[in-house]
Structure 1
Amino acid sequence: MGLHSGEFGKPELVEKPTREAERIFQGFAAAKPRKEDAYAAALSFLRGKELDSWQRDLVASAIGEPIREQDGAMVLGARRFPALLGLYESEAKRGDLWRLTWHGLLYSYFNFDPNLANDDATRSGWEALRSFLERTWPLIDKQAGKNQVPDWVNVLRKESEVLSENPVDKYSHSYLRGETGPTDRLAEDLGIPPSSWFWHALVLGVVRRATAESDAEFRRLIPQLVKLIQGKPGFRDEALEVLLIRYHACKGAPHDERLRDYVCQPTVWKNPKLKAAGIATAWNRVPDPVWQMVLSWVNERNLKDFFDILAARNNADEGRLAFWSKYLKQIAWTRLVFGVDTMALKRSNPGIRELIAREEGAYAQLTSKPEVDAFMMQIGSYLIIEFSKKPNACYVYQADQLPFEPYDRHYEGGTADLAAGYRQDVGCALRIVHREGWGDRAEVELRQLGIRPDRPEAQRVATAGAATTSTAGNRTASSGTASGRATAKFAGPDMAALRALVTRFRGASIDDRRSNASGGRLWVEDPLQRTTLGTELKALGFKWANNRQAWYFPEN
C-alpha cells in the first residue's frame, strides 16, 4: 500500500492509498468486458451458435446492442433469449452467477434505446430482462453481503424501484416540478446514458402525472410537457396520445398554438388533413373527436393565414376573414393553393416560407394567374373556393359534384377547374361577388343552402311551469309532474330533415330506439365515417360514441 517509505503516526499516509484501493475496487466491481468481445459473443448467439460459459458472461453486456451483420437485430429479440435468461436465473439461484455478469445485464437494461427496437419481440425481450432483474436482485443483494460492496449495489438497495414495472413513478413528480437533481444523481450512479429508455419513460410518466391535474394547471404545463417530449422522443407517440386526449377533455379545449405547431410538424404526426390520404397515420392513435379538435385548429390557422398573409398582400381582404370566421367551427377541411409568385417569395419572405413548410404534403399549386392564391374550405356538404385577388369571385360547389378533384397537386385556377362555376354549363350552388354589401347578401344566400353562422353550444333552461331551449333541431317542452315541477321533454331533431340528410350518404342509416321501454337513443350509423356527414350531424346536436362508432342524439 505504499507505506514502506513513510513515517508512522501520519494518517494521511494511510488514507491516500486506501482511497486509491477503493477506487480500484469500484472500478473492478463495475467493469465491463471489451466491447469487441461482447459484440462477437452477441453475433455468435444470433447466428445460432451455442455459447460456452465465458461467452455467456460476455454477451450479458451486449444483449441490447444492434448487430450490424444481422440487420440491426438484438439478442433481446432472439427466440433463444428466454432460454439464455433461464440459464442466468438458474445460476443466480445456485449462487453461481458472477456478480459482474449480473451487472452486465443491468448495464444492458439501462442502455436499451427504444428508438433502435424494430419489432415487438425486442421490446418484449427487454421487458423479460427487467422482470429477470427484479426477481434476481434479492439474490444478488444477499450474495453481496454487508461488508464492502460496489457503489451500484448501494444505489440499488435504495432505488430498487427502477427494476419494477413502474420504474419512473418515484421520480416523475419531482421531475414535473423541474427538480431534476434526484434523477441526475441516479443516472450518474447507475451509468444511465442519455439515450436510455429511462429518460423517455420518465417523460411519459411526467405527462401521465400532469393529466391528473386540474384543467387550468394541466394547460399551464403544456409548454413544459412539449419541451420534455421534444428532448426525449423515445415514447413520443404514446406521450402525445395521452396529452391530446386529456387536452380534449379540458372544458372548452381552447386552441393551443404551441401544442398544435409541435404535433403537426412533418417529422412528428404531420398535418391532420393528411390522415384521410393515409399519409398521417399517427392520427389513428386518437379518437376522431380529438383529431377533429386539432384539425379545427389547423383550419383556423389556414383561414387566418390566407387572409392575413396572402390576400392582404393584394389588399383584397374586404372583410372576408371576419365573415368566414363566423363559420369557423363548421369548417371541416381546408386546403391552400399557392400561386407562382407566392412560391417564389418563400426564398425571401420568412412568413411565406414558414406557411409553405407547415403545409408540406397538403398544399397545391396554381399553374396560371401567378399573382393569385386560392383557399378551399368545406362547410357541411359544400366546398367553398376563395381567391386572394380581385376580380375573382368566391364559388360554392356541392362537395359530391365538383368540377375538379379536391386532392390534385396542380390547378389551372380559372374556369377550367377552381373557377368553373363562372360557366353556365357547370353546376355551382352559389357565386359570391365581393361588391359593397356582399357580406349581408352572402349570409342570406348561404342560409338558403343550410349554412348558418356558428352558434354557442346547446343550452337548456327549465323553469317552473315551462321549459325553453336554444339548440339545433326541434324540441318540445311539456310540464306537469307528480311533484308539480316542470319537466322538459325533447323530441330530437326534425326527422324529415334528418332522413333527407342521411339518404345523401350511401350506406349510412338511422337507428331510432327512443320508443324502447328501456329508454333507447336516436342513432345514425355511417360505416365510412365521412367527415361531411359528421359535420352536419354535429350541427344538429348529435355526438360521437367511440364504443359504438356511431352518432347519437343526447337525451335530456
Structure 2
Amino acid sequence: MSDTALTNLQRYFERKNDYESRFSISDLIFPSLTKTNNRLIDIFDKAEIKPPPPLKKRRKAIESFKLKEELSNTDWRLVFAGLSDRYDDNPSLLDQDEYFHKVQYEVESRICHDELNRRDWLSLCFSYFGYESDTPEKNKNWCALQQYLDKGYFSIKKQQKREKEWMRIIEKYNQIFTNSAGELIAEEMINGQIDDLSGLKKIAQVPEASWLWRRIFNVILSRIFIISDDEFKMKIERLVTLGCTYVRFMDDVLSACLTRYYHASFRQNPSTLLKQSALERWGSPQLRSSQNGWLQHVDEQVCLMVRAWFAKEDLQHFFQLLKGDRGVDQARLSYWLKYANQMSFTRIVMGSDAWNDLNTDFEEFRNRNKGRLSKLTEAASHINAVIMQIGNYFFVEFSGTGNACYVYKADDAPFNAEAKWLGMNTALKLRGSPKTITWLLHNAGWQSKFDDELAKFGIRAVKHSITASQNETKPEWIGLKTKANHEIKISDKKDQEKSKIENVTISIKEKVSISLQKIGFNKYRISDFRKVGGALKVELEIKNAQADLELKRLGFKSTNSNPLLYWKS
C-alpha cells in the first residue's frame, strides 16, 4: 500500500476518533466487507509511525498560535509537537506559562469531549520526550503534560473495541509517563530481557536526544555499583553490548564498568573486552597524547589499572609470540611480570619478521594494537624489543637471549619511545651514550642483581597491587575517614549540577555518620556513584540490627545479594 493511501486510510480511521464507536462494518451482515475492514484496520495498526513534522512547519504553526490566529486541527497538532522547541533564543512553550495554559485548555477540551486522537497524542509525546532537561520534572508545565498524556491515552483506549499492538507496548512501559520513567526498561535491558527499543521509540515518538535515554542508562549504570562482584562480572559483556547498540552512551558505559572493575576483588585479572573496547574508543592509555582523553572519562587510578593490563599483555606477547629464533625466555617473562602493575608505559618494537608475518596470530596482534607498535631497524629481522617504563626509567629488553637490558631516564632518553621507527644501535642499545644509566646482563643469578639495581632507582616489586603506591586491595573499615573516590566523569554533566550533587552528598554522609555514631557503630564505609545517576552506598563490616534500623530510617534499602550492603538513590 502506498504512503498516500496509508495516510488517507489513517485520516479516515482517526476522523473524530470514532471510526469504531459510531460505525462498524462488522455490525453488518456482509462477511467479505467485514473481512476487508478488519484487514485495513490491521494494516493501519501495524503501519510504521511517521516521523514528527519538520521543525519549520512547527515554528510556523507556533507563530500563528502566538498571534492568536485561528488554528486548524493540523495546526494544533504541529503546536502539540513543538511545545519543547527552542529557537532564536526564545524559550519553549513549556517554559512559558502564558502560552502553555492556552495549550492546556485545548488539550483538556479534546480529552473531555473524546476528540483527542492518536496523532494528537503522539505529537504531545514528542514534546514530552523532547524537552531539553536532565530534570524535566522540575518544570510544572512538563508535569502537567505528563498527566495529560496519561489521561489522553486512556481516553483513546476506551473508544477502541479491541487492544492494538501499539497500545500493548504503551501499557507495558506506561512507567515512562511517571516520575520513575526508565526504571523498568533499564532493569529489562541489563538483565537481557530486551535488546531493541526501536518499537517503543517509534510508537511513543521518543527523540534520539531525549532525557529518557539518559535516565535509562543512569539507572543501568547505577545498578552495577550495588550488585556483587560475581554478578557484575557476568554482566560486563551485556553492558558493553548495550554501549555498542546505543553508541551515544558508550563512553559512560566504559567509564562505569572500568571504575566498578577497579573496585572489584578480581581487578588484578585483566578484562580483555573492557580493555579492547576502551582502546578502540579512547586510544591507548599509555600514549602521552591520549592520556588526557582517558582522564576525561576515568580517574587516574583506574587508568593506571588499565595501563597495567596492557603491560602484562605486552610482556606475554613479547616473550611468547615475538620470541624470535632462540625460544621463549620464561625467566625474563616471569621476572618482569612482577613489575607489570607498576608499568605506566610499554611499547613493543617489532622486527621485520614479526612486522610482515601473515600468520593469523601476528595479524590479529598487529590489528588489535594499532598505534601502540613501532618498527625496529638496524637489527636482524628476527629480533624484537620492548620498552618498559617504571617510575621515571625506561628498561629496554630484546627478544630471545644474549642481549643485555638497557636503562635510560624516561625524561632524558636518547629516543622518542612513541616513534614509529626505532634503530637498535642508534636509539635502544647504546652502551657508550652519556644518557645510558646502565645495562644489565642476564648472567647466572641475574634476577637478584636486577632487583638490587632497580632498588637503587626506588623500584621494588609490590605483590598484588595495581600501582606502586597501593599496597592493600582490601578496603579499610574506618567509616567516613575512608575516602570514597568512586566518581565517574561524564562529559555532558554541568558544573552547576555537579556542585549541587556534591552538597547533597556531604549532607547525607553527615546524617549517616551522626546516626551510626549515636549507636556506637563505626565499622562501615560509604561509596557515592550518584554523579552518573547511581546510588549512595553504605556497606557494613558486620551485621548490626541497630545500624540496619538507622539506615532504613534514612531511606536506605538493603540488597538481596549482600545483606551488609545498603543503597539510596
With the shorter chain as reference, the TM-score category is: 0.5 to 0.7
**What is the CA-CA distance between 1:436 and the residue it aligns to?**
4.5
Question: What residue is the counterpart of 2:519 in the other structure?
Answer: none
Mapped contact 1:32–1:104 kept (Cα < 8 A) = no
**What is the CA-CA distance between 1:26 and the residue it aligns to?**
5.9
Gap change, CA 1:261 and 1:242, over 3 Å in 2: closer
1:261 counterpart = 2:275: yes
C-alpha offsets along residues 10-47 of structure 1, whole Å, 9 cap, x if unaligned?
xx68965774686588689x9758x7x63651586899
**What is the CA-CA distance between 1:409 and the residue it aligns to?**
3.5
**What is the CA-CA distance between 1:385 and the residue it aligns to?**
0.8
**Superposition TM-score, scaled by structure 1 size:** 0.63
Residue number among 368, 371, 381 corresponding to 1:361 in the alignment: 371
Question: What residue is the counterpart of 1:486 in the other structure?
Answer: none
Residue type of the partner of 1:291?
Answer: C
1:106 counterpart = 2:125: yes
Question: What residue is the counterpart of 1:418 in the other structure?
Answer: 428
Residue type of the partner of 2:354?
Answer: T
Match of 1:336, SS state, is strand
Question: What residue is the counterpart of 2:241 in the other structure?
Answer: 227
Residue type of the partner of 1:104?
Answer: S
Structure 2 gaps, min length 5: 1-23, 111-115, 473-569
Question: What residue is the counterpart of 2:284 in the other structure?
Answer: 271
Question: What residue is the counterpart of 1:403 in the other structure?
Answer: 414
Residue type of the partner of 1:269?
Answer: W
Cα distance in 1 for partners of 2:456, 2:28 equals: 106
1:290 counterpart = 2:302: yes
Q: Which moved more, 1:145-154 or 1:281-290?
A: 145-154
Cα distance in 2 for partners of 1:219, 1:4 equals: 59
Alignment of 1:357-506 (within 5 A): 357-369=367-379, 371=381, 372-389=383-400, 391-414=402-425, 416-420=426-430, 422-423=431-432, 425-456=433-464
C-alpha offsets along residues 233-286 of structure 1, whole Å, 9 cap, x if unaligned?
2312222222222221112523233333343332x2322113x42466144222
Residue number among 189, 194, 198 corresponding to 1:180 in the alignment: 194
Alignment of 1:213-362 (within 5 A): 213-266=227-280, 268-274=281-287, 276-278=288-290, 281-312=293-324, 314-315=326-327, 317=329, 319-345=331-357, 348-362=358-372
C-alpha offsets along residues 185-239 of structure 1, whole Å, 9 cap, x if unaligned?
8668647799988677645533432332111221222222222322232312222
Mapped contact 1:131–1:163 kept (Cα < 8 A) = no
Residue number among 85, 93, 100 corresponding to 1:83 in the alignment: 93
Cα distance in 2 for partners of 1:192, 1:450 equals: 58
Gap change, CA 1:257 and 1:47, over 3 Å in 2: farther
C-alpha offsets along residues 274-319 of structure 1, whole Å, 9 cap, x if unaligned?
3x42466144222211111112111111111111111355526362
Gap change, CA 1:60 and 1:280, over 3 Å in 2: farther
Cα distance in 2 for partners of 1:4, 1:93 equals: 36
Gap change, CA 1:183 and 1:366, over 3 Å in 2: closer
Question: What residue is the counterpart of 2:220 in the other structure?
Answer: 206
C-alpha offsets along residues 346-375 of structure 1, whole Å, 9 cap, x if unaligned?
xx1332223233332333333432623221
- Aligned-pair identity (%): 23
Match of 1:244, SS state, is helix
Residue type of the partner of 1:82?
Answer: S
Cα distance in 2 for partners of 1:46, 1:269 equals: 43
Question: What residue is the counterpart of 2:146 in the other structure?
Answer: 134
Gap change, CA 1:264 and 1:238, over 3 Å in 2: closer
Q: Which has the bigger relative contact order, CA under 8 A and spacing at least 6?
A: 2
Alignment of 1:48-59 (within 5 A): 53=71, 56-57=75-76, 59=78
Question: What residue is the counterpart of 2:57 in the other structure?
Answer: 41
**Superposition TM-score, scaled by structure 2 size:** 0.61
Cα distance in 2 for partners of 1:122, 1:146 equals: 32
Q: Which moved more, 1:213-222 or 1:254-263?
A: 254-263
Question: What residue is the counterpart of 1:500 in the other structure?
Answer: none
Structure 1 gaps, min length 5: 65-73, 113-120, 459-470, 473-556
Cα distance in 2 for partners of 1:211, 1:290 equals: 15
